[in-house]
Amino acid sequence: MSDTTIISDIAHAARLAARTLAISSNDERNKVLTNIAIELEKNLDLILAANEVDMAAAKKAGINQSLQDRLLLNEKRVRQMAAAARDIAKLPDPLGKVLVERDLENGLNLKQKTVPFGVVGMVYEARPNVTVDAAVILIKSGNAALLRGSSQATESNKVLIDVMKKAFAGSSISREVIQLVPATDRTTVTALLTARGLVDLVIPRGSAELIRAVIDEATVPTIETGAGVCHVYVDKSADLVKAIPILINSKCDRPSVCNAAETLLVHQDIAEQFLPLALKALSQAGVVINADAKSKVIADKLGITAKLATDKSFATEYGTLEINVAQVGDVVGAIEHIAKYGTNHTEAIVAEDKDVITTFTALNDCAAIMVNASTRFTDGGQMGFGAEIGISNQKLHARGPMGLEAMTTTTWIVSGNGQIRQ
């Protein structure tokens, strides 16, 4: 059987199953999500055993540490996935919201209501938690899910799908609303991306290379999530007591994820005062440092190893404990640097000067701006969405962490009493 046929069969099954979601109540969908949380916790050992198989294969294959961290499941991460399912169940129903309503002179009533997309495909790398996050968000928002994870997470994803399907027992919602797309080779991705008419939307989540490949190849509509070359700018007005913890948290809390900081920008007027503190803190945290020429001089005086940063360095999403450091003339210089090397994801400013903050927030073209806070807060769970299906860097339809509302579209309902158009 060809991959095109496989995807066609899976998508057709998902489309039929989506009808059971379309007529389900919010309470029914919430019950499934709560059951998913219960099943994840009940099957913890089974999930971790499957993940150990994937991790062993990844280590044997020499997969880099960043991808290994994304692939890893442990008890804490599985319980976080269960907690996210419960949190999403508690959120308001995103479906059936009346966004616009008005009566026309001819007596027609117009309502614009939120409805599901229908069948949504996910293409993602390594992270098996996305299998659960995507499934629960799509179920809550009334969409069937076609989930195509990476081959590195094959065993983890199989078990997670099997465990989640147990949650539909006794429900009027079909368990076929969750479908795992085979990850044996890349041809299944191509078949999914070109299944126009069978799949309503595809969302890529992973490396810049994966996202670009999906955007370039897809004939199905896509939402472009993006790479995270994120910056922390420390202004001359900054409270330096705040700046160091924000910097270290932004870089070191979980360096493999897209909202981790990759570059520190420092106002040149405080470089001699602040950089010794920052470079020591980064070095003590085990961070590899790439510095511009002026900042490298300061590092050398301190006896801290720093490589000379290049254009390639500044454009790199490391995903590891590595960072760039550069000095800028002022907030506009910071903005220009970000515009040149950033990816429109998350930018942070540490400053007390309100005019500087206003300039930074007004002129940075990105999905999220953190003012005196870590870049790590660009996250669906942290921002009250329960979880996220991805972080969109584009401007159409959805931008930033995508939760329930981003997974809906709208329908116009026009009600009359026998009117005909003259």
Output the pLDDT for position 225: 79
What mean pLDDT comes out for the span 81-87?
95
Output the pLDDT for position 389: 82
What mean pLDDT comes out for the span 82-91?
95
Which residue bears the tokens 């496989």?
6
Structure-model confidence comparison of residues 183 and 128, the more confident one: 128
Output the pLDDT for position 247: 98
**pLDDT over 90 at 399, yes or no:** no
What mean pLDDT comes out for the span 96-105?
96
101: confidence class by pLDDT, cuts 50, 70, 90: very high
Buried b (16+ CB within 10 A) or exposed e, 155-181: bbbbbbbbbbbebbeeeebbbbbbbbb
393: confidence class by pLDDT, cuts 50, 70, 90: confident
Residues 162-197 pLDDT 10s: 999 999 999 999 999 999 999 877 889 999 999 999
Average pLDDT over the chain, rounded to an integer: 93
Give the predicted TM-score (pTM) of the model: 0.80
* Integer Cα distance of 73 and 33 in angstroms: 20
Q: Between the CA of residue 297 and those of 183, 288, 292, what are the distances in Å?
A: 49, 16, 9
Which residue bears the tokens 């009334």?
142
* Integer Cα distance of 408 and 136 in angstroms: 14
Dig out the tokens for 49 from the structure.
């055993």
